[in-house]
Amino acid sequence: MGRLVGGIVAVLDYPGRGALASPDATGRSTDGALSVDRPGGRWQTAYLRRALILDAAAAVVAAFGAYLVRWGTERHPGYLLLASMFPLLWVAVVAANRGYEARYLVVGSEEFRRVGRAALAVTALVTFAAYLVEYELSRRFVLITLPAVAVLSLAGRFGLRKWLHHRRSAGDFLHRVVVVGHEGPIVDLLDRLGEQRYHGLHIVGACLPVTGQRVPLLDAGIPVIGAYGSVANAVRLTGADTVAVLAAGDLGPEQLRRLAWDLEPTGADLLVAPSLVEVAGPRLSIRPVSGLPLLHVEQPSFSGGRRFFKSVFDRLMAAAALVLLSPVLLVVAVAIRIDSPGPAIFKQQRIGKDGRPFRLYKFRSMVVDAEAQRSNLLEHNDRDGLMFKMHADPRITRVGGWIRRYSIDELPQLVNVAVGQMSLVGPRPPLPDEVEKYADHVRRRLLVRPGLTGLWQVSGRADLSWEESIRLDLRYVDNWSFAFDLQILWKTGRAVLGGSGAY
């Protein structure tokens, strides 16, 4: 059930078009209902306009900032003209890379990838144009302008996205959704969306295989409006802008085709959760065969050039971090030794890639005989599954509680990363006794190096259930990409500073 709900959330991981009658300037409907998105709706148009303005402003700051750094107050008409035209060029290239399409905005990393592609395209375009006209560009001007515009645009879009997420948490700028499927998956989807309000989806009705109210849906405030055959009418009654169809065996291709036809006059989007879930967009493509659109799923990548680049990047970054953080590491080590007797570094055997054991390093955050005391505390385990965690573990020292809260105890694992036993991002490194009890499908998490951080770190840390942590690890294994790693590293900083889910 969790995998099914994960599939529809993945499908809904971008804002579609939608419908709303008479929204006001804030995005709320004039009759007080929650705001939703219509094709050409005011809030969406305003959001796109703000993104464009931020990109143009980023280009102005980058180009004229580079000019001032390179020449100060000197006048160079050619470069002043180039700096003046650069905002138009930047916006045009971002648009050509579909950086202003609504489906790529608000959630997910695709928006940022397209800005990155635009930066590469501008670099190639400027270089090629200068070669054609035989104009020798100032390398300092170019090397400042192009990276700066990419960083500033990404920062502006990130801030704009967070502003919208904040507004959505207050009930503004939401899509109204009619969900089609069975009762259980609809309730699970409602729970998931309640935890992730930033998706901007507000379920206003449901259509089930057979009409009639259901107590769980009614308790959740979701009216059953009709059966599968009355979806278009449900859209009209609720003013919905989106129809989300959960994977169901009693909804075949012909029924979905007719549903799409019925929804055309309403202007509502149709989103369908695939039966195959936990597969990210980069691995999916549509392959038409004899007029039939087939979903092509690429095999996950466990070796090759991208993995080699990841390994080199991990080792270089870990080595650099060890050098830069060495004063911090020294202070923490001294604090641990002063706080409680015993060594500052805790060593433990863990299982790495392909089931190979290795010695993991951490700052000691517990008393020296913590492992011997574990058997006496098993009945107080706060976690399900194979992992052992306690909210108020009596073995944790004073300094240990602080360094665990901010994941400082994990920093010595940079040594494991530097020597190639771990990665910066990957599944959680398991204990040998955990691996012995793994089900066959769970062993897939051993196909890649364990990570210093991962999806489990940015999605709840120790608060996650065993099943959820395994699901996240397997999702990472199957959908790894370098951009995905960078996104997780960025989110790790926020998760660590917040201190949530750490104990």
* Pure H helices in 72-109: 77-96
Average pLDDT over residues 368-382: 69
- The whole-number pLDDT of residue 338 equals 93
Distance of CA 228 to the CA centre of its chain: 33
Q: At residue 388, does pLDDT exceed 90?
A: no
Express as a percent the part of the chain with pLDDT over 70: 80
- Going by pLDDT thresholds of 50, 70 and 90, the confidence category of residue 62 is very high
8 Å CB contact between 247 and 4: yes
CB 176 within 8 A of CB 204: yes
Print the SS3 string covering 114-151. Answer: HHHHHHHHHHHHHHHHHHHCCCCCCHHHHHHHHHHHHH
Lowest mean pLDDT segment, chosen from 115-124, 131-140, 382-391, 447-456: 382-391
Does 22 have pLDDT greater than 70?
no
Mean pLDDT rounded to a whole number for the chain: 81
- Per-residue pLDDT for 404 more than 80? yes
Question: Are the C-beta atoms of residues 403 and 409 closer than 8 Å to each other?
Answer: yes
With residue 362 as reference, give the H or E element that holds it: strand 357-363
- The pLDDT value recorded for residue 35 is 41
* pLDDT tens digits, one per residue of 70-121: 888 888 888 888 899 999 999 999 999 999 987 788 877 788 889 999 999 9
d(CA 249, CA 87): 51
The residue with greater pLDDT, 497 or 450, is 450
**Model confidence at 431: pLDDT above 80:** yes
What is the average pLDDT across 459-483? 78
pLDDT at 281: 59
- Local confidence band at 174 (pLDDT 50, 70, 90 cut-offs): confident
Q: What is the pLDDT of residue 336?
A: 94
Q: Are 454 and 427 in contact (CB under 8 A)?
A: yes
Which pLDDT score, from 0 to 100, does residue 290 have?
60
pLDDT of residue 212: 76
Q: Which of 31-45, 112-126, 225-239 has the lowest mean pLDDT?
A: 31-45
User: Residue 278: is its pLDDT beyond 70?
Assistant: no
Neighbour-count burial of 253, counting CB atoms closer than 10 A to its CB (0-12 exposed, 13-18 middle, 19+ buried): exposed
Where is 269: in which H helix or E strand?
Answer: strand 269-272
Q: Per-residue pLDDT for 15 more than 60?
A: no
Q: Is residue 445 within 8 Å of 473, Cβ to Cβ?
A: yes
The highest-confidence range among 95-109, 207-221, 427-441, by mean pLDDT, is: 427-441
Phi, psi angles (nearest 5°) of residue 156: -65, -45
Structure tokens at 118: 């635009």
What is the mean predicted confidence (pLDDT) over 177-198?
Answer: 81
Most confident of 108-122, 242-256, 300-314, 351-365: 351-365
pLDDT for the residue 21: 33
Q: What is the pLDDT of residue 500?
A: 55
Q: At 379, is the pLDDT very low, low, confident or very high (cuts 50, 70, 90)? A: low
pLDDT at residue 496 greater than cutoff 80: no
Please determine, for residue 34, whether its predicted confidence score (pLDDT) is greater than 60.
no
Give the residue-averaged pLDDT of 382-411: 78
| Residues 308-332 pLDDT 10s | 899 999 999 999 999 999 999 999 9
* Segment 49-58, tens digit of pLDDT: 999 999 999 9
* pLDDT for res 429: 92
Chain-centroid distance of CA 220 in Å reads 27
| Mean predicted confidence (pLDDT) in 295-305 | 72
Strands 284-289 and 292-297: antiparallel
pLDDT at 175 over 80: yes
